[in-house]
Amino acid sequence: MSQPILVFDSGIGGLSVLAEIRKLLPQYNYCYLFDNARLPYGELEEQELISGCVALIQQLVAKTNAAIVVVACNTASTVVLPALRAALTIPVVGVVPAIKPAAKLSKSKRIGLLATPGTVRRHYTHELISQFADDCHVELFGCSELVMMAEQKIATGELDTTSLKRILAPVVEADLDVLVLGCTHFPMIRAELQQVLGEGVSLLDSGEAIAKRVVVLLTQFEGKQIEADDRKSDVAAPKIEGYYTASKISEGLEQTLVDCGFSSIEHYTTIN
């Protein structure tokens, strides 16, 4: 169990995915990489996103001897997975917006995708929609401001409700019954989103599905079943190491990470 699971995002979004994986695999050690020097990813050009993520992850995998990489970021997953898989010999899991379950769940056949500007304009996303939601009217909402508001909420505990209502006004207007949270930052503010959108809109994310995929791939990679013991949390205290690329992080974020069980939090950068 010494080889950690490496979870990666531009910021706090991947914590929503980490929480789901830890529910299934509490005994594993984890590394969590925040590439917050380059946040928000939704505004980055494709090539810049790919080369930065690959270099960063490749080096951290070598440093930590990770067993698997979870790209807990929809924006990065739309473009970096092929290059990352080519650069690594361990399994890589990406995030796919929950378009397929949303289309199945929707009664009105009017669904939405709330994601970053990068994710909503990518070919990958449009393919997903034509493959799995052909029978639905799909509205796309790309918003980096919401990403930064989720960061702010985790660092300070506060979220500006007036801005949230303004950002979500087109979503309310669109009269949807299912909204896909296609950015891992958004489940971190799910309660606030739900409050503005009302209970008539179901919010779907892919955290749980990714966690299940991690269990399957680890089972194959380690050549053994994940034992019942791996799922118990009372054996030994597993480690969660945090790495961030910005020059510093706020005290509020640091405290949140400590409260989440992080055992160490340090600055990290690629060696050129």
d(CA 54, CA 209): 24
Report residue 56 as tokens: 């960063």
Stretch that binds ligand DGL, among 40-48, 54-62, 126-134, 156-164 (CB under 6 A): 40-48
Binding mask 103-122 for ligand DGL (x = CB under 6 A): -------------x--x---
Stretch that binds ligand DGL, among 24-32, 83-91, 180-188, 224-232 (CB under 6 A): 180-188
Of 31, 53, 73, 136, which one is the catalytic site residue? 73
Q: CB of residue 166 vs ligand DGL: minimum separation in angstroms?
A: 19
Binding of ligand DGL at residue 52 (CB under 6 A)? Answer: no
Crossing angle (nearest 10°) for helices 161-173 and 144-156: 140
CA atoms within 13 A on the CB side of 153: 22
- DSSP output for 177-194: SEEEE-STTGGGGHHHHH
Find the binder of ligand DGL among 4, 40, 94, 187 (CB under 6 A). 40
Q: Which of residues 63-82 bind ligand DGL (CB under 6 A)?
A: 73-75
Question: Whose Cβ is closer to ligand DGL: residue 30's or residue 41's?
Answer: 41
Residue 31 annotated to the active site: no
Binding of ligand DGL at residue 128 (CB under 6 A)? Answer: no
Stretch that binds ligand DGL, among 10-18, 21-29, 101-109, 202-210 (CB under 6 A): 10-18
| CA-CA-CA-CA torsion sign (116, 117, 121, 126) | positive
CB-CB contact of 257 with 242 (8 Å): yes
Residue 143 annotated to the active site: no
> What is the torsion angle, in degrees rounded to the nearest 10, for the CA atoms of residue 44, residue 48, residue 49 and residue 51?
-170
CB atoms within 10 A of CB 258: 12
Binding of ligand DGL at residue 147 (CB under 6 A)? Answer: yes
Q: Which of 102, 153, 165 is nearest to 131 (CA)?
A: 102
Report residue 196 as tokens: 């503005």
Find the binder of ligand DGL among 18, 32, 42, 96 (CB under 6 A). 42
Question: Whose Cβ is closer to ligand DGL: residue 10's or residue 64's?
Answer: 10
Q: CB of residue 189 vs ligand DGL: minimum separation in angstroms?
A: 12
Report residue 13 as tokens: 């979004």
Interacting residues with ligand DGL (CB under 6 A): 9-11, 13, 39-42, 73-75, 116, 119, 144, 147, 183-185
Known catalytic residues?
73, 183
